[in-house]
Structure 1
Amino acid sequence: MSRYEKLVVDTTDLYNAYTAPEEARDRARDAWYRTFAMSGLTSLAGELDKDHRQDDGRWVLGWIVGEDEYYYYVIYDPSEHKVVTEKHQKAVKQDSGGSAS
């Protein structure tokens, strides 16, 4: 397990039954981002403004590329009251496409 995957955020106290689902997701994303910022981990790239619902009820809040050059998806699981970081495939470096003259 990578250091990124060990980054799990408990969201139990961030919302209650009266909180709108969109607000709960925003709070979960913000809590994950604060924890990530304090962790000392860094990201080579990323996008944290996604809200893609999966078939299992979890939400992809965004993704980052870790220092190890793997993609990590930031997943919010409302039924488990947590945000986890899941490792996925290795990122492919893009060629700049430019040539020196």
Structure 2
Amino acid sequence: GSATHPVIGVSVDMTDRSEDGARVGGDDDRPGVVRGGPADKAGIRDGDLITAVDGARVRNGEELIVRIRSHRPGDKLELTVERNGKERKVTVTLGTAGRE
């Protein structure tokens, strides 16, 4: 069988060393938020800062990925998202990504 892992459908800035959270942001090759993906459906936008998963703080993109991968596709996670200084909680249902 092929390995699948859970995804929320965002690219995060792995160069951001601020430790404030995981900054959603793409580059020339990929969008910050995958259109029609779990994060898009939950209302997450490019530039948002994801600061917690199920209430557990995430300081950077790496921590966000580790938290997401400890779950399974189809699981629901509550993400704490900051935009323009305002914090809100959104529920995301994890999608799947096959191994590339």
TM-score computed with the length of structure 1 as normaliser: 0.28
State the structure with more CA Rg: 1
Task: Flag the structure with more relative contact order, 1 or 2, with Cα contacts below 8 A and sequence separation at least 6.
Answer: 2
Which has the larger share of helix?
1
TM-score computed with the length of structure 2 as normaliser: 0.28
